[in-house]
Amino acid sequence: FEGAGRWVPPGAGLDGLRRAAQGCEGCDLYENATQTVFSSGSASARVVLIGEQPGDQEDRQGAPFVGPAGKLLDKALVDAGIDRSDAYVTNAVKHFRFKQEGPGKRRIHQTPDAAQMTACRPWLAAELHIIDPDVIVLLGATAAKALLGPSFRVTRQRGRLIPRPPIDDETSRQNACYVATVHPSAVLRADDRDSAYAGLVSDLKVAAEVLG
Ligand code: URA
Ligand code: SF4
């Protein structure tokens, strides 16, 4: 597998990217997933939210953050004062990675590996280039490491504005600042859900302030 690069149509808009991504075979993940899950939101969005990869529900429905984590994220955005219509929501990896014990058994989420994240990066770079947002919210360690490097630690560096990403990526304009926070799924799994949720909202408010 050679990565998504050759499936990304040069000069395409968001609709062109969405269409082309449906045929992507840039890594092995397209083989077992139902479909490519691209993004929701418009090119004029001022804030981009990046998750890890589609979950079970997203894989079936073909849209990002529509399952339990998505419901929680929607509520947190409202509580942080971010208008969902101002937000573009996507994932670091566009196909669901899972393991399954046998036919009809529950599909269990697996974190994408480094090769899959690298393979899928051209899609994210193309999205960010088109949207050129003011602020990018990284939801969880996978998105944070994908954009800010493997040594980034969400637990230590969350909720702070990061002026410019230290990675170099000529396809993206990179005007946006970044804010990292926990993944909504981690809030759902937390022992103290209320305080985990409050932490997510408070980090999202840091992004909301950039939007003014
Ligand atoms: N988790 C993610 O990271 N992304 C989704 O789209 C859904 C759940
Ligand atoms: Fe292509 Fe990304 Fe899907 Fe891999 S995960 S097949 S690179 S869209």
φ and ψ at residue 112, rounded to 5 degrees: -65, 145
Please identify which residue in the block is written with the tokens 């304009």. Answer: 173
**Average of per-residue pLDDT values in the chain:** 94
Substitution site in 24, 38, 53, 113 for ligand 2 pocket (most atoms within 8 Å of beta carbon): 24
Please identify, by atom number, the ligand 2 atom nearest to the C-alpha of residue 122. 7
Give me Rg for the CA atoms of the chain.
16
Please identify, by atom number, the ligand 1 atom nearest to the C-alpha of residue 91. 4
CA of 171 to the centre of ligand 2 (A): 18
Express as a percent the part of the chain with pLDDT over 90: 87
Residue 39 and residue 22: Cα distance in Å, rounded?
12
Closest CA to 55 of 42, 68, 46, 45: 68
Please give all residues whose beta carbon lies within 6 A of any atom in ligand 1, as ranges: 51-55, 58, 64-65, 67, 69-70, 91, 185
Is it the case that residue 138 has pLDDT exceeding 70? yes
Please identify, by atom number, the ligand 2 atom nearest to the C-alpha of residue 112. 5
Q: Annotate 120-170 with DSSP letters as a single string.
A: HHHHHHHHHHHH--SEEEEESHHHHHHHH-TT--HHHHTTS-BSS-SS--T
Q: Global pTM?
A: 0.95
Domains observed in the chain: 4-211 (3.40.470.10)
ipTM for the whole complex:
0.96
In this structure, the residue with its CA closest to atom 8 of ligand 2 is: 94
Is it the case that residue 110 has pLDDT exceeding 90? yes
Confidence at 174, pLDDT banded by 50, 70, 90:
low
pLDDT of residue 84: 83
Cβ–ligand 2 contact at 124 (below 6 Å): no
Is it the case that residue 16 has pLDDT exceeding 70? yes
Q: Which two tokens stand for residue 99?
A: 């393991």
CA of 29 to the centre of ligand 2 (A): 6
Is it the case that residue 172 has pLDDT exceeding 90? no
Cβ–ligand 2 contact at 21 (below 6 Å): yes
